[in-house]
């Protein structure tokens, strides 16, 4: 089961589930491959059915997508893509009918496995369809930031990710590093590091490691710390991946660190 995980967006597919009211920081697109789901936002008095939904960051909501397979896309709201998506929302959530869902999923098979190579292009086209084409040129990667990205992506993960330690690796002052990092990647340094740790943990869990092993590998203090952070960011727990790992495929947008 391939799982490619780098910030600042993560896509996966698998069986739909039911969740009680919750909120999470990552923007969340859920599309039913067939059929519909039920959603209730905090301000609504009753559930609404739709073929898909885009939920803004930190919006309380409950979902019921049981009985269907779904494609999910999580986007870091402070990233360039996240800011574009947030600007496209006129309300806290955006609902999609069957026709809109079909248009967004047109490049993917409607049933069965989704080829891993199809996920990345689908993410690109979906973000453009939802947020419109980017009006800014692709950022130029600062060579010191490229060096730091290689350091952060090393295996095993670096233990010291304090700003001072990372600035020393990059050979920049702390202030200059934070500015250059955001300019180069489209994601502020701290959200990038959090997503990187979460996605390292997700990859470890999906490959069969326990939550405790995944937490240690990703730099969390213990499995409870990982679970709390996973729930805050994605609205679910690491056990979701453990139960459904054979169905999960994921790929994330990442700046070029080669």
Instruction: Give, for all 258 residues of the chain, the pLDDT tens digit.
Output: 233 344 578 888 888 888 888 888 889 999 999 999 999 987 667 889 999 999 999 899 999 999 999 998 988 888 888 888 999 999 999 999 999 999 999 999 988 888 878 888 898 899 999 988 776 666 688 999 999 998 998 878 888 999 999 999 999 999 999 999 998 888 899 988 988 888 888 878 877 888 899 899 888 989 999 999 988 888 778 877 766 655 555 555 656 665
Strand order in the sheet with 27-32: 9-15, 69-75, 27-32, 52-55, 93-96
* Residue 77: partners with Cβ closer than 8 Å, 6 or more residues away: 25, 26, 27, 56, 57, 83, 85, 86
The angle that helices 211-218 and 223-234 make with each other, rounded to 10 degrees, is 80
Peptide bond before residue 258 is cis, with ω within 30 degrees of 0: no
- What is the pLDDT, as a whole number, of residue 138? 62
- What is the pLDDT, as a whole number, of residue 56? 93
Quote the radius of gyration of the chain (alpha carbons, Å).
Answer: 18
Nearest to 253 by CA among 111, 88, 139: 139
Question: If you ran DSSP here, which 8-state letter would residue 19 be given?
Answer: E
Question: If you ran DSSP here, which 8-state letter would residue 39 be given?
Answer: E
Q: Alpha carbon 209 to chain centroid distance?
A: 20
**pTM (predicted TM-score):** 0.81
- What is the pLDDT, as a whole number, of residue 116? 78
- What is the pLDDT, as a whole number, of residue 252? 57
- 242 contacts 211 by C-beta, under 8 angstroms: yes
- What is the pLDDT, as a whole number, of residue 5? 42
Residue 114, number of CB atoms within 10 A of its CB: 22
- What is the pLDDT, as a whole number, of residue 3? 37
- What is the pLDDT, as a whole number, of residue 207? 77
CA distance 32 to 37: 7
112, with CB counted inside 10 A (0-12, 13-18, 19+), is exposed
- What is the pLDDT, as a whole number, of residue 7? 58
Residue listed under structure tokens 């709201």: 77
Q: Which helix (H) or strand (E) holds 14?
A: strand 9-15
- What is the pLDDT, as a whole number, of residue 52? 97
């Amino acid at each position: 089961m391939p799982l490619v995980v780098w910030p600042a967006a993560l896509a996966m597919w698998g069986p739909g589930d039911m969740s009680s009211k919750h909120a999470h920081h990552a923007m969340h697109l859920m599309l039913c491959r067939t059929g519909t789901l039920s959603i209730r936002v905090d301000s609504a008095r009753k559930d609404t059915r739709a073929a898909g939904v885009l939920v803004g960051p930190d919006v309380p909501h409950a979902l019921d997508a049981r009985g269907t397979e779904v494609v999910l896309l999580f986007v870091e709201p402070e990233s360039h893509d996240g800011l574009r998506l947030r600007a496209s929302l006129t309300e806290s959530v955006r609902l999609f009918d069957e026709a809109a869902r079909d248009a967004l999923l047109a490049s993917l098979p409607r049933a069965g496995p989704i080829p891993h190579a199809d996920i990345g292009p689908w993410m690109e086209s979906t973000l453009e369809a939802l947020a419109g084409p980017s009006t800014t040129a692709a950022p130029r990667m600062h060579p010191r930031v490229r060096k730091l990205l290689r350091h952060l992506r090393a295996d095993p993960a670096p233990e010291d990710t304090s700003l001072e330690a990372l600035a020393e690796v990059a050979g920049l002052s702390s202030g200059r590093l934070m500015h250059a990092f955001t300019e180069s990647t489209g994601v502020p340094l701290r959200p990038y590091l959090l997503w990187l740790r979460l996605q390292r943990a997700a990859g470890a869990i999906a490959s069969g490691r326990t939550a405790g092993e995944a937490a240690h590998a990703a730099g969390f203090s213990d499995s409870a710390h990982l679970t709390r952070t996973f729930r805050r960011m994605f609205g679910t727990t690491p056990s979701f991946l453990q139960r459904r790992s054979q169905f999960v495929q994921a790929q994330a947008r990442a700046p070029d660190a080669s």
